[in-house]
């Protein structure tokens, strides 16, 4: 019997109430072992910290293919595999190489329906014609809309009996061929007005316009999140009151989602060079599409990374930060604190960190401690925007 308790989430946030596996992982593993297919015909999607892949490897299966959206999960799988001495698996993007010839595809249900749609499309498109997709989740997070998404890509969708508060959905008989055009990202055009700063709506007046593109589960889809909007609205203050943007700033959009902050900043500050970085592969794909749609490829570089770990200390004049609030399905401040610590590391002395966060969070204190003196730029009952200056 595989000992799931040996698994760690590191480098993702670790805390006593956060685990590296759940009962859904165990049900998916049990289902695959009972199906008796070889490891080379199994693909795993959404294996958060590697629990499914490593338990199947431990049972003697090899050649398992796995896709994880988050680079933190990918690194955790590598670390856990090293600790267990396991090597019978390969990591892939969500593409044909992951799925070709796969007959059992095990899926930890993603939070968003758009992400599930993308997964179901990929499995129906590229896996074997007799492939079975087995998707599991915690019962309290499951909705009938998930069955509807699966039913768009599979002729049969069978919910299984719940066990230990988790449930599996078994989808079989994929319904569409590989020739169907690949799904395009969701796109949406946004117009931002900044009264009092030269950006205002109306005839003949300047405004900031850009397109957002979103694949799968990228944050807020192609919509503009209200927290993001609050930071965009503060950008005029950023332009006029900040020494960090005076010359040709090197800017980091830390946790870029669909790239809204990077693109808006690039359009407002033509000399700036920007690195937009996120730990989610869907976010990175979305930001790349956003950057291309706004013709900013020569100014914005997009990277898949955990908290900017590939970027040098003090390499940024300015960091734009809209930190995550939820961590998976649980609410945890650790994820936000981690990005604040990263922002402090990345910013040069005298450089600035501009942050938007839910007003009830204690981020201003953490920003002051980690980065330096922090002033409030705007505050509503929901969102606070702050500017922190990196202390020497």
Ligand X SMILES: C[S@@+](CC[C@H](N)C(=O)[O-])C[C@H]1O[C@@H](n2cnc3c(N)ncnc32)[C@H](O)[C@@H]1O
Residues at the contact surface with ligand X, assessed by CB under 6 A: 72, 219-220, 225, 228, 253, 255-257, 260-261, 278-280, 283, 306-307, 322, 324, 335, 338-339
Q: Which is nearer to ligand X, 53 or 277 (CB)?
A: 277
Residue 39 or residue 323: which is nearer to ligand X going by CB?
323
- From the CB of 249, what's the least distance to ligand X, in Å? 17
Q: Which residue's CB is nearer to ligand X, number 134 or number 340?
A: 340
Q: How far is the CB of 257 from ligand X (least distance, A)?
A: 3
| Conformation bin of residue 288: beta by default, left when phi > 0, alpha when psi is -120 to 50 | alpha
Rounded to whole angstroms, the Cα distance separating 140 from 386 reads 36
Cis check for the bond before 11: say yes or no (omega within 30 of 0).
yes
Min dist. Cβ of residue 288 to ligand X (A): 14
Identify whether the C-beta of residue 48 lies closer than 8 Å to the C-beta of residue 20: yes
Cβ proximity to ligand X, 110 vs 255, nearer residue? 255
Spatial neighbors of 144 by CB under 8 A, at least 6 apart, are none
Question: Residue 122 Cβ, how far from ligand X at the closest point, in Å?
Answer: 20
Between 178 and 226, name the residue whose CB sits nearer to ligand X. Answer: 226
Smallest gap from Cβ 12 to ligand X, in A, equals: 7
Can you give the length of the chain in residues?
392
Contact criterion met (CB below 8 Å) for 79 and 10? yes
Strands (DSSP E) found in the chain: 42-45, 64-67, 89-91, 104-108, 132-138, 154-159, 166-174, 186-192, 208-214, 250-254, 273-278, 300-304, 316-321, 326-327, 330-331, 347-358, 374-379, 383-389
Rounded to 5 degrees, what are φ and ψ at 328?
60, -135
Quote the least distance from Cβ 41 to ligand X, whole Å: 31
Contact (Cβ atoms closer than 8 angstroms) between residue 134 and residue 104: yes
CB 321 within 8 A of CB 354: yes
Nearer to ligand X, 12 or 22 (CB): 12
What is the nearest approach in angstroms of ligand X to the Cβ of residue 205? 25
CB nearer to ligand X: pick between 49 and 154: 49
């Amino acid at each position: 019997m595989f000992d799931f308790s040996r698994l760690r989430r590191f480098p993702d946030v670790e805390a006593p109430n956060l685990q590296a596996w759940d009962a859904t992982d165990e049900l998916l593993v049990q289902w695959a072992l009972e199906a008796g297919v070889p490891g080379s015909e199994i693909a795993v999607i959404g294996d958060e910290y590697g629990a499914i892949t490593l338990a199947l490897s431990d049972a003697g299966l090899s050649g398992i293919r796995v896709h994880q959206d988050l680079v933190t999960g990918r690194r955790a799988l590598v670390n856990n595999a090293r600790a267990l001495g396991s090597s019978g698996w390969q990591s892939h993007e969500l593409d044909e190489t992951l799925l070709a010839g796969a007959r059992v595809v095990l899926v930890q249900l993603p939070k968003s329906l758009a992400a599930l749609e993308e997964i179901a499309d990929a499995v129906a498109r590229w896996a074997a014609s007799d492939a079975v997709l087995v998707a599991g989740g915690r019962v309290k997070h499951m909705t009938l809309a998930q069955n509807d998404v699966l039913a768009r890509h599979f002729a049969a969708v069978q919910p299984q009996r719940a066990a230990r508060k988790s449930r599996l959905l078994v989808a079989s008989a994929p319904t569409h061929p590989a020739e169907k055009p690949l799904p395009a990202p969701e796109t949406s055009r946004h117009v931002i007005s900044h009264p009092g700063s030269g950006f205002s709506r109306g005839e003949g007046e300047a405004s900031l316009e850009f397109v957002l593109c979103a694949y799968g589960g990228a944050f807020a889809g192609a919509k503009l999140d209200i927290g993001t909007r609050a930071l965009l609205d503060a950008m005029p203050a950023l332009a006029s009151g900040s020494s960090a943007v005076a010359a040709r700033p090197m800017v980091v959009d830390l946790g870029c989602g669909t790239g809204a902050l990077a693109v808006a900043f690039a359009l407002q500050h033509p000399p700036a060079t920007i690195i937009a970085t996120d730990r989610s592969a869907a976010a990175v794909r979305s930001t790349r599409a956003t950057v291309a749609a706004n013709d900013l490829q020569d100014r914005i570089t997009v990277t898949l990374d955990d908290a900017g770990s590939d970027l040098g200390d003090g390499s940024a004049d300015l960091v734009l930060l809209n930190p995550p609030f939820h961590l998976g399905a649980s609410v945890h401040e650790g994820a936000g604190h981690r990005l604040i610590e990263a922002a402090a590391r990345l910013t040069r002395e005298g450089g600035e960190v501009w942050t938007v966060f839910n007003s009830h969070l204690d981020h201003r204190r953490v920003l002051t401690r980690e980065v330096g003196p922090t002033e409030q730029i705007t505050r509503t009952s929901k969102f606070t925007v702050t500017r922190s200056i990196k202390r020497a």
